[in-house]
Structure formats: structure tokens, C-alpha cells
Amino acid sequence: MGARTKARNRALNMIFQADVLRQPLSEVLATEGMRAVHEPERRASWLYAEQIVQGVLAHQEEIDEKITSSANGWTLDRMPHVDRAILRVAAWEILFNEEVPTPVAIDEAVDLAKELSTEDSGKFVNGVLGRIALLAEL
């Protein structure tokens, strides 16, 4: 597993934790940052995970609006927590990180959804992110 894939997993875990436990994402990020100081072998994945979470924090309103408008009748509250976290990570990459090609962001998100969520989540995540990507190109 590459450093960016590990970083996406770490970011996903932080966003998921904040959502499920109703903790401020900034606090979860700070706690994980302190832990990362003591894990030099995981530094490469930490740096990108931190970048993702900070990006989601900075743009959460816009990211959530894009997800909601692309989810065809699904509200954020109706989505499984893990799907919502996956979508936030990937939407940030698509909308705000020019270093990651859109197909890579979508593929990674779909793989995570298939591995971590419901039977239909891979298709759902793929559809939502595909619409976000199309809107981003306009």
C-alpha cells in the first residue's frame, strides 16, 4: 500500500471519528498530530493525511454542498458515516488538490467504500464523485 493510500485511510479515520463521536475535526486532527510525532516511520502518510483533513476543514461547507447536490436525493445525514467520510476525502482531492488525478481519487474512494461500507456503497460513491468531477470541469 502506497503512502498516499495510507494517508487517505488515516484521513478517513479522523473524519469518521469526528463525525461518529461528534467531536470537532480540528480536535481529532490535533490529537492524531501529537500521536504522529511519536511515529516517525509513518511520517510520510501523516503529512498527506494532515493535508487532506486540513483541506476538508477549510472547505467543508463547499465540499458538503457538492456532495449533497450530486447525491440525487440523499442528504448527508442519510448517508452511512463511512460513505460520508470517504466522499469528503475524495471530493477534497477532486476539487482542491491538483496533484491527484481525478480518476485516481475516484478509484481510491470506490475501493475504500467496497472494503469498508455496504454492498451498494462502491456504486453510490462512484456516482456521486463522478458528478462532482463533471461539475468541477465546467
CATH code (residue 92) = 1.10.940.10
- Of 133 and 37, which is predicted with more confidence? 133
Q: How confident is the model at residue 1 (pLDDT cuts 50, 70, 90)?
A: low
Position 2 scores a pLDDT of 82
Nearest to 128 by CA among 79, 71, 78, 69: 71
Q: Is the CB of residue 112 less than 8 Å from the CB of residue 86?
A: yes
Instruction: Report the candidate in 86, 79, 101, 80 with the shortest Cα–Cα distance to residue 52.
Output: 86
Q: Phi, psi at residue 73, to the nearest 5°? A: 90, -5
CB count in 10 Å sphere of residue 115? 11
Q: How far apart are CA 14 and CA 31, in angstroms?
A: 10
The pLDDT tens digits of the residues spanning 118-128 come to 999 999 999 99
pTM of the model: 0.94
Q: What DSSP string describes 117-128?
A: S-TTHHHHHHHH
- Give percent above pLDDT 70 in the chain: 99
Contact between 113 and 85 under an 8 Å Cβ cutoff? The reply is no
For 40-95, the pLDDT digits (tens) are 777 778 999 999 999 999 999 999 999 999 998 899 999 999 999 999 999 999 99
Say how many domains are in the chain. 1
Which residue range is the domain that position 73 belongs to? 3-137
